[in-house]
Amino acid sequence: MDAEVAGALRDMRREAWWIERREARHTLGLDAMGPSAASTGPESDPGFALMKRCQADELVAALSRLPKVQLRRLLMHAVVRLPVREIARREGCSERAVKYSLARARRRMRALLTDGD
């Protein structure tokens, strides 16, 4: 695996961990309110977890089919929430190149994820 991709993934995991910790602090208050505040949406359905995992597997498979540069830029933008300007700075390219790459990645992901329907 490319060192840049590995670094981006490491940064994403760290960021996700911080987000989970921050959200856990906020949801703890909802648990203390009792069952009236509990979700009764589709998340309470036992099949929801399986459906979510299947969709996640499809997503990972589609992501693995993207070119390395598009994958790296898409992850930095969508997961780490870096702005296009910061991605361009880190990649040493123009903002236009990043926007074009992101658009192509989204188009490719859309095609890969809707292909099975």
The contacts of residue 58 (CB under 8 Å, 6+ apart) are: 113, 116
| Helix ranges (DSSP H) in the chain | 3-32, 46-64, 68-78, 84-91, 95-114
Kindly state the average pLDDT of the residues 1-6. 69
What is the distance between the alpha carbons of residues 48 and 43, in angstroms, rounded to a whole number? 6
Token representation of residue 115: 């292909």
The CATH label, of 2.40.50.140, 3.10.620.30, 1.10.10.10, 3.30.450.70, for the domain at 3-114 is 1.10.10.10
pLDDT in tens, 34-51: 554 445 555 556 566 656
**CA of 17: how far to CAs of 4, 14, 38, 75, in Å?**
20, 5, 24, 15
Q: Per-residue pLDDT tens for 47-86? A: 666 567 667 888 888 889 999 999 999 989 988 899 999 9
Global confidence as pTM: 0.56
Query: pLDDT at position 37, please?
Result: 45
Alpha carbons 60 and 75: distance in angstroms, whole number: 12
Residues 5-35 pLDDT 10s: 777 777 777 777 776 776 666 554 444 445 5
pLDDT attached to residue 70: 94
First-last CA distance in the chain: 31
